[in-house]
Structure 1
Amino acid sequence: MKRALVTSAIALAAVALASSSARAETLDDLFRAGNEAYFRGAYDDASSRYEELVELGVRDADVFYNLGTAYARQGRHGRAIAAYERALRVRPSDAEAATALRHARDALASRRADREGEATMASDEGLAHAVFGRLSRDALASAVLVLDALFFAVLAAFLFVRRETARLALGIGAPLLGLALGAASLGLAIRSGAFDEGVAAVVVADRVPLREGPHEDAQERARVREGERAWIVGEDGAWVHVRAGGREGWVEGAQVVRID
């Protein structure tokens, strides 16, 4: 694991948790135990600890990064991809998580090439990612609030300013602020999933059948691959209705991981 393992926000959470064996552990203890297991080479135990933190509601970029790295060490590249994508949802500017995500995709593509001769994987990164990829939803929301306040402050200033040079400056500043506000609002809408097809997810098993209905006996429509982006558009018990690569159908919920 290249970057130092730090407790980040976890260290601030001194909440006691009771496990199934009635042993109380703090979130920090779980995170530390995962790190220790990783450095021992017990990657399965490490990923289990990080998974427990996620199941308890922790949404921390370091936890997701460490979870992805533990998965990658086990060769579970689909799950690693999902974990790194979740880290980037929390901290879009995380260059190490972005690099690890590319490596996980490359490793999965290489394994697929060795087995089937197919050596590429779609990254699902379009123009929105290129423009807003390093800005978090919180950062964009803050930008919208600040730009909104400045925009209306400039408009209000027209009521009081009489000097022509000042009014000219305000006349130039208002449309520029309006454009910036529009761009930040668009970025926030994109980051919030306003234009998504459904709930973003990643397929974590290989050649998962897309079925006509939410049960094992339903006819198979197509198959989706490990690491592929999917959009969850419906649910029925333990099954989810997904769209992936222009195809859609029902898969077992355990075969995809949500990255929202």
Structure 2
Amino acid sequence: VIDDYSAEGTRRSIEQSLKRLQTDRIDFIYVHDISPDFHGDEWVTKFDEARNGAFPELERLRSEGVIKSWGIGVNRTEPIELALDLENANPDISLQATRYTLLDHEHALQRLMPAAQEQGMNIVVGAPYGSGIIAGGTHYEYGEAPSEVTSRVDQMNDIAARHGVDLIAAALQFSAAHPAVAAVIPGTTRPERIQENKAALHANIPDAFWHELRKQGIVSPEAPLPISK
């Protein structure tokens, strides 16, 4: 994989996408993976390349009407938080995977979400099932789940069973409940998952379930919840 976050590389990539898609406009563009989990200690260097190249070019493409919105697509919160502080860029949507879930949301809740709301940026939550473990898989953050994560999911499953709740539905609705979140993108490994995810998003979940998650310390006291008003 060759990383090219230059202005020229960014415009060329989008022009090629327009040709493949046979369209003259793209709604959303994400600058992917300028993050510690992909580039290690070099991630700030990569971010600076994007800040001086890709970001200004995306601003121009948006003003030209070629794209509707742009932002960052990462598994960590730091790059999005850094982008929100830039004076020469105004990303209006970003994809944040794995950091606003039932298993992990405190940092995003305290820092990313308030900053996004203040700047008017929409957040798209990816991997609401922690990349699989909440949905019955064995992966967490794209690797094997450690024992402490497995134990926490077991605890959540026990609570869900007592309240007659599908934990998948709870995870999806939790990620969608924050006012900064514009959309949630769960996995669609097979066609029927689309309808399953839609049903999960609208499943009835009793308020008592959410209150118990809070009581057990699984959900932050400050996290917005999809409860009855």
TM-score by length of 1: 0.29
TM-score by length of 2: 0.32
* Bigger-Rg structure (1/2): 1
